[in-house]
């Protein structure tokens, strides 16, 4: 446990749900943990006891990517954890593959509606539709975008180009209909009111849910206890300022009670949300200061700035996230007038103080 984690509290200690099983974290709220084939090797999913139109059952929050192992784990949960009741609704916090990948399968299997934000639904639909490509992590557009920020390693660029259908490999389809969630929407689940809290910067329109009755936050990826949420600029929106959006968004969690229980998409249930907001603010403030100092000394591209923020060795998958996040930090400094931006004769954007 690092020093920052010691400032948080984990009520369940090191307890984790076994594959295909659940742990009750609050009355009517059960925790599922599924494996992922990435460095971030798991995702937390949630079952909420529900009643809709007089029918008893469950609401699911988030789904995992579409792969055989995840479907098998879900099948075991259907058999052993649902108390013989159906899934009545599927809520997705945002459009990233580990959250929405199996939504089409779950919704079809249970004839259950999908609930999520409009922005994330239509972005995901665009990326899974005919001709859809992944501007975030793969394809020609992503390769050109990363190259414009200094990533020119031929092997890395080739791998990025080959990942044109990276998103669709994990999210092969989407339900054709959805129910819209947005900031301030109240969702009634099992007789309890859950308030939607929108968040930006990590995804187009991420939805977290807070229940005052049991003082519980389903924070998705906007409020993680151990790692900092990835905040990146992508090829599809190359002039974005997502870090400012993210920092403004997490301020909303300070309005929650100090002892609220956070249920994150990665990591363990925790209390100390206000402290975690401060940790994330401090983390990004320090990274911005490091980049500002380096770019003031000499203009840097995103690829040149990447080792300042990420000091460990990275594979291509991690590099796309790391470079996108480095550019997000550079963009905040640029948008706020602390740095300027110039494109060199080599075609790279560099950020610095130009005379």
pLDDT tens for the chain, 355 residues: list them: 577 778 999 999 999 999 999 999 999 999 999 999 998 999 999 999 999 999 999 999 999 999 999 999 999 999 999 999 999 999 999 999 999 999 999 999 999 999 999 999 999 999 997 766 556 668 899 999 999 999 999 998 998 998 888 899 999 999 999 999 999 999 999 999 999 999 999 999 999 999 999 999 999 999 999 999 999 999 999 999 999 999 999 999 999 999 999 999 999 999 999 999 999 999 999 999 999 999 999 999 999 999 999 998 888 889 999 999 999 999 999 999 999 999 999 999 999 999 7
- Residue 201 Ramachandran class (φ > 0 left, ψ -120 to 50 alpha, else beta): left
**Coil vs helix vs strand at 71:** helix
284-331: pLDDT as tens digits: 999 999 999 999 999 999 999 999 999 988 888 899 999 999 999 999
Chain-centroid distance, C-alpha 326: 17
229 CB-near residues (< 8 Å, 6+ apart): 201, 202, 221, 222, 246, 280
SS3 for 89-136 is EEECCCCCHHHHCCHHHHHHHHCCCEEEEHHHHHHHHHHHCCCCCCCC
**pTM listed for this prediction:** 0.96
Structure tokens at 338: 């602390």
Structure tokens at 263: 């249920």
CATH number assigned to the domain covering 5-352: 3.60.15.10
Q: Let me know: does 133 contact 141? Beta carbons within 8 Å.
A: yes
**Coil vs helix vs strand at 55:** strand
Question: Where do the structural domains in the chain lie, given as residue ranges?
Answer: 5-352
pLDDT at 210: 98
16-22 LR contacts (CB < 8 Å, sep 24+) = 16/268, 19/73, 19/76, 20/72, 20/73, 20/76, 20/77, 20/80, 20/81, 21/76, 21/77, 21/80, 21/81, 22/47, 22/77, 22/81
Residue that has been written with the tokens 């929108």 in this structure: 198
**Coil vs helix vs strand at 244:** helix
């Amino acid at each position: 446990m690092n020093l920052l984690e010691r400032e948080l509290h984990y009520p369940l200690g090191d307890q984790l749900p076994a594959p295909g099983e659940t742990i009750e974290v609050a009355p009517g709220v059960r925790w599922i943990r599924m494996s992922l084939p990435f460095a971030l090797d798991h995702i937390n999913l949630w079952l909420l006891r529900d009643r809709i139109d007089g029918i008893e059952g469950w609401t699911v929050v988030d789904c995992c990517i579409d792969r055989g192992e995840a479907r098998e784990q879900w099948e075991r949960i259907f058999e052993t954890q649902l108390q013989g009741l159906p899934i009545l609704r599927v809520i997705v916090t945002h459009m990233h593959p580990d959250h929405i990948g199996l939504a089409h399968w779950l919704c079809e299997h249970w004839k259950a509606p999908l609930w999520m934000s409009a922005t994330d639904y239509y972005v995901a639909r665009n990326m899974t539709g005919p001709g859809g490509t992944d501007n975030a992590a793969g394809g020609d557009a992503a390769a050109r975008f990363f190259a414009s920020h200094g990533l020119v390693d031929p092997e890395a660029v080739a791998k990025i180009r080959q990942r044109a259908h990276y998103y669709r490999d994990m999210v092969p389809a989407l339900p054709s209909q959805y129910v819209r969630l947005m900031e301030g929407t109240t969702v009634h689940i099992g007789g309890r009111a859950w308030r939607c809290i929108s968040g930006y910067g990590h995804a187009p329109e991420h939805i977290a849910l807070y229940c005052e009755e049991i003082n519980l936050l389903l924070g998705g990826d906007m409020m993680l206890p151990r790692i900092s949420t990835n905040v990146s600029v992508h090829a599809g929106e190359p002039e974005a300022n997502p870090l400012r959006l993210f920092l403004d968004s997490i301020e909303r969690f300070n309005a929650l009670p100090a002892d609220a229980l956070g249920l994150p998409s990665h990591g363990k249930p925790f209390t100390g949300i206000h402290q975690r907001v401060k940790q994330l603010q401090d983390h990004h403030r320090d990274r911005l200061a490091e980049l500002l100092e380096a770019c003031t000394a000499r203009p840097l591209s995103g690829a040149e700035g990447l080792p300042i923020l990420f000091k460990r060795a990275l594979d291509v998958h991690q590099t796309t996230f790391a470079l996108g996040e480095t550019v997000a930090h550079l963009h905040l400094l640029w948008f706020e007038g602390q740095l300027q931006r110039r494109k060199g004769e080599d075609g790279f954007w560099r950020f610095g103080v130009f005379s």
